[in-house]
Amino acid sequence: MTFDSVAFAIFLPLVLLVYYRLGHRAQNVFLLLASYVFYGWWDWRFLGLLWLSTVVDFGCGIALENCSGKKRPLWLLLSVCTNLSILGFFKYFNFFADSLQRACSLFGWEIPPTTLNIILPVGISFYTFQTMSYTIDVYRGQIRACRDFLTFSLYVSYFPQLVAGPIERASALIPQLASPRRPAMRDWYEGSWLIAWGLFKKVAVSNALAPTVDAVFHNPQQTHWWSLLWGLYFFSVQIYCDFSGYSDIARGTSRLLGISLMRNFWHPYFSTGFREFWRRWHISLSQWLRDYLYIPLGGSRGTAWQTVRNLFVTMGLGGLWHGASWQFLAWGVWHGALLGAERLITGDRLPGKGRGWRKIVQAFLVFHAVLVSWLLFRCPTWQHVVQYTLGLFWLQGGEEWVTWFELGRFLVLCGVVALVDAAEEYSGSEYAVVDWPWLVRGLSWGTLAVLCVALGGIHVTAPFIYFQF
């Protein structure tokens, strides 16, 4: 079940209809059952993995709070090893087995390939990181262990953010689940806007760009360089609208339930520095990597070169979190290099504090450095990366996938997204549209609907990109 499906359009109203009629405890029971239905819609067998993470981390959290001395690290180790073992087996077993076989063949050692027909459980990277953060925070003494199994189970499996985040901290979400809640009218206004805007970004923009992006990236050797160039721009907008659109729908759905989730995107392509970019892009993952990997490695407390090393390790592992391939590792290392270079040049001072043309130039350069990284992220193989790069640099001829209609549609849809993002950036509020006069607001919603039907990808079926992670 996906947010842009007919099934979810039926599922959500039914959930809300029952949810509003229940008391607090019954709401949590019902939400837990609804979350299991939502997740089991893909494959009910993976509910066992979700249940295993829930039971192990619930027990480890209580044990961490009840014991002291040398036993505490063992309970934390049990939690971390359980979660990483589940994640490692389902996501990385074939990758490491294939890499080992290839490495041995370089030295003349022939070993038979060992791969398994493993299906990657949807959302596994998100909920394993979320449950690990809980036990680590209990171990550090930053939060108390949750002793209500129902509340903790709902924290792990809460359906709006279960599949693709945001990766919520227990300190933020568990108190909301443990408290009575009744959505106010403002929650309805803001939640409805987030859902509508998220659906526009996903259906009208991301889905509309998906066929052209697929054609360009899967056949770069026979694609005209002009289409290769615009294909990169298309994908940069597609992945932003796809993932931020999902996050908006998740947060909007949660607001209708009276629960607030953290903001996961804040106009990242307006960034004037690479640290700023990662404070605006996939914010929940960036904060997770910072708090549970970068800072424990030493953060910026050592020398400049030690800081750069820590950035490389953190971003490299962050790249592997996205997918089991050397390209994702290279994508993470590329961002680690950008962050490290910025740190060496500017130190602790954040760039982009000026005004006018200088800020525009910085944002332009940052965006295009990120644009290069999407080549590693999107190409299916290293061969495609090389072919794509050579095709651009040698201005090769070939198939024209980006027609003038496709380009015009892209500019219109991208312009709408940029205008709304700019309005939110200027006002400092993501609900700037909600506060507009009713006539302007009505015209805006009508314009989005017309654009979605006239130019959008309502007839295109494209899965959310981050479901594969």
SS3 of 41, please?
coil
Whole-number Å distance between alpha carbons of 267 and 281: 8
For residue 258, give the DSSP letter. Answer: T
- Phi and psi at residue 4, in whole multiples of 5°? -100, 20
Q: Taking a C-beta distance cutoff of 8 angstroms, is the pair 318, 125 a contact? A: no
Retrieve residue 17's tokens. Answer: 């209809």
Whole-number Å distance between alpha carbons of 290 and 285: 8
322 is catalytic: yes
Q: Taking a C-beta distance cutoff of 8 angstroms, is the pair 43, 119 a contact? A: yes
Whole-number Å distance between alpha carbons of 196 and 252: 9
Residues facing 223 on adjacent strands: 399
Q: What angle do CA 162, 167, 169 make, to 5 degrees?
A: 115
Count of beta carbons in the 10 Å neighbourhood of residue 297:
15
Q: Say which of 224, 322, 335, 384 is annotated catalytic.
A: 322
148 Rama sector, left if φ>0, alpha if ψ -120 to 50, beta otherwise: beta
Q: Taking a C-beta distance cutoff of 8 angstroms, is the pair 235, 414 a contact? A: no
What number of CA atoms fall less than 13 Å from residue 66's CA on the CB side? 9
- Phi and psi at residue 228, in whole multiples of 5°? -65, -45
Whole-number Å distance between alpha carbons of 331 and 344: 20
H/E run at residue 103: helix 71-106
DSSP per-residue codes, 379-415: -SSHHHHHHHHHHHHTT---B--S-HHHHHHHHHHHH
Whose tokens are 């859902």? That residue is: 195
Q: CA of 123: how far to CAs of 78, 97, 182, 297, in Å? A: 21, 23, 28, 27
Exposed e or buried b per residue across 252-271, where buried means at least 16 C-beta atoms within 10 angstroms of its C-beta? bbbbbbbbbbbebbbbbbbb
SS3 of 223, please?
strand
Retrieve residue 328's tokens. Answer: 């994702």
Q: What angle do CA 85, 90, 92 make, to 5 degrees?
A: 80
The residues annotated with a catalytic role in the active site are: 322
